[in-house]
Structure 1
Amino acid sequence: MNKPRMTLTLLLAAQIALPGCVAAVIPLAASGAILNQERKSEPEPEPKSEPDLPVLRKEDRVLTPPGPAYVDIAPPPANTAPPAPNETADPVGAEPPTARVPAATPARSLRAYDALLSYAVTEAARDPVERPRMSAVLQAPTSLSPARADCSIRPPAVLFDLDPADGLFDPDTMDHSDPLLDVMVRRLRAEAIDIFWISGLPALRAGDVRRVLKNSGLDPKSDDGILLIQRSEDRKQERRKQLQETHCLIAIAGDTRSDFDELYEYLKTPELAQPLEELVGSGWFLAPLPLTQGQ
């Protein structure tokens, strides 16, 4: 076949094949356009939003202090052994330890009566001529000096104050004594030391006071002396001075310092009486009340 005829044949074949190709291409393009149109018509999904968080108001906030929390604990008693080094710490979440509060030790325990007994027996055994006995009465109270009054050769005596610090002795309710005190009082009598009891009650109540002292066992034979107020203008201070005139008052037992001398009731600056503290335990004895309310 020659070239012109071949070329004509190829052109005719191309013209015949062209419509079919175009027809095939158009449906594909149309279908793509429709698909794109459907995709455009579908609503686009909205972006996911985070859930709304509650607004924390200022008054709802809890402020945590910087640094670890701690519990202030009182030091353990002296006789408590420290924890072993290999002890484990308290578990997390455990309740904080309760602050240790050492048991209160009363300043006027019965040991004060033991000290009084020892002191009184020692003072009473002295020869007043060779070595004068020491009185529990101040020589000049207003000077705030611990100098004591002269005892001379007067017989020794011990004075017990019956009145509580905030009132007067009540014979109708305060009728209970400690057995240890009963033993101590008997020992003082055995050492030839006279016993006296003092109260701010009027002398008209002497019978009631005597009855309670006898029934409680503190003065079973009613031999002791009782110092009460005889006149309205009397004071216990005057009664103590009167006793000092007849006896060597070597020891006074009371539950407050004003039981030793009334100057403590008038001090505006208690620190000024500091020099007198050397008498506490050496003539003056802070001790429990001799008689209290029965249990």
Structure 2
Amino acid sequence: MTGRIALSLVVLSMLGMSLSGCLAVAAIPVVAGGAVARTATDDQPGPSVEVETRPDAAASLPDAGSAQLTSLDIVDVDNATPGLAEPSVPPMQSPEITEFIRYSTEHAFAFSKGEQPMTTAVLRDPSALNGERLDCAPEDEREPAVLIDLDPGDEAFSEGSPLPDPSVALSLKVLRSEGVTIAWISKNSAATADLVRDALNRSGLDPEAEDTLLLMRYPGDRKQTRRKEFAAETCLIAIAGDRRADFDELYDYITNRNAAIELETLINNGWFLIGDQPESYSSIETPVDEPAPDPALADVQAPGVEGTTTPDEEQEQ
């Protein structure tokens, strides 16, 4: 019994010297064979505590003279790894998305004042290539709206297509609360409405399934037609997409990028290039076998220009 107590005191004294500035952890079995632990104060015996007897363990306990402290795991408290992971930082909106939301919010607020006409994101005459846009008059009593193109590049939106950063969801909610209509457009058939709606719902971009979907209703229907119809029913103040043809189909007919140089003033001013890989200005290629003409004399194959035919005119023929 005396040997066991001596061993315990030796171990505890070693632990006390080792714990300064560190956290010590050691597995030290304490076994008593039919022992009774007592405490005394003023020569009065303290309460007794019966300890379970384990004959096998007592027999295997080494002699006090040969016992050694074989290992002591030391953990530096100052450099210890926290047990809980640090909270993740929510993703930030891209600068383009942020600018789209800022512009839309400011113009929706100004439109609500109803003091003067509001410039829309719709070209007055696309073939003119001068950047002039239609206005919304206060007396028109049309609701402000924004339009977001879902199609990646010139491909149709699919279940695996990327969506705008979900961090924009809260900003869209604020726009809705201000009376702004949110619309999503795709070249997909209206028969795929459930697929598109489900993707927007699961991403949190349209959790209440309250936004407008602009999909193709019949063979030959075009996004340009859907945009024009939507703009006639609302005050379309901003359009977001990953290519310039998402703003107006004239870009599908331009053979020289310099012809549309004046339209670049609409970027971040009604038109917003968003997405993982938004189209850059240099990606609107000029044919390499022709020198770039003066913008004023540029040959443009856009709907409404003499010498070309629009998709509508082709259908009539």
Q: TM-score, normalised by structure 1?
A: 0.58
Aligned to 1:148: 133
Aligned residues: 181
Aligned to 1:285: 272
Structure 1: which amino acid aligns with 2:109? Answer: A
What's the CA shift string for 1:98-149, capped at 9, x where partnerless?
xxxxxxxxxxx81111111111111111246422111001010011121111
Structure 2: which amino acid aligns with 1:133? Answer: M
Distance 1:240 1:160, change over 3 A: same
Aligned to 1:162: 150
**Is the Cα contact below 8 Å between 2:152 and 2:162 reproduced in 1?**
no
What's the CA shift string for 1:42-100, capped at 9, x where partnerless?
xxxxxxxxxxxxxxxxxxxxxxxxxxxxxxxxxxxxxxxxxxxxxxxxxxxxxxxxxxx
The separation in 2 between residues aligned to 1:244 and 1:175, in whole angstroms, is 26
**Is the Cα contact below 8 Å between 1:175 and 1:212 reproduced in 2?**
no
**Is the Cα contact below 8 Å between 1:254 and 1:289 reproduced in 2?**
no
1:246-285 mapped onto 2 (5 Å cutoff): 246-285=233-272
Aligned match for 1:124, one of 99, 108, 125 = 108
Structure 1: which amino acid aligns with 2:125? Answer: A
The reply to whether residue 138 of structure 1 matches residue 138 of structure 2 is no
What's the CA shift string for 1:198-231, capped at 9, x where partnerless?
0000111011111111111111110000000111
Distance 1:140 1:176, change over 3 A: closer
What's the CA shift string for 1:175-213, capped at 9, x where partnerless?
665231212211211222110000000111011111111
**Is the Cα contact below 8 Å between 2:150 and 2:163 reproduced in 1?**
no
Aligned to 2:214: 227
What's the CA shift string for 1:225-266, capped at 9, x where partnerless?
000011111110000000011100000000011100000000
The separation in 1 between residues aligned to 2:162 and 2:207, in whole angstroms, is 13
Unaligned runs of 5+ in 2: 1-92, 278-317
Aligned to 2:230: 243
The separation in 1 between residues aligned to 2:219 and 2:106, in whole angstroms, is 38
Aligned to 1:197: 184
The separation in 2 between residues aligned to 1:176 and 1:159, in whole angstroms, is 14
SS at match of 1:174: coil
**Is the Cα contact below 8 Å between 1:163 and 1:289 reproduced in 2?**
no
The separation in 1 between residues aligned to 2:162 and 2:255, in whole angstroms, is 35
Unaligned runs of 5+ in 1: 1-108, 291-295
SS at match of 2:208: coil
Q: Tell me which stretches of 4 or more aligned residues in structure 1 moved more than 4 Å.
A: none
Structure 2: which amino acid aligns with 1:156? Answer: P
RCO (CA 8 Å, sep 6+): is it higher in 1 or 2? 1
**Is the Cα contact below 8 Å between 1:161 and 1:289 reproduced in 2?**
no
Aligned match for 2:98, one of 109, 114, 117 = 114
The separation in 2 between residues aligned to 1:223 and 1:281, in whole angstroms, is 26
**Is the Cα contact below 8 Å between 1:164 and 1:289 reproduced in 2?**
no
The separation in 2 between residues aligned to 1:179 and 1:260, in whole angstroms, is 22
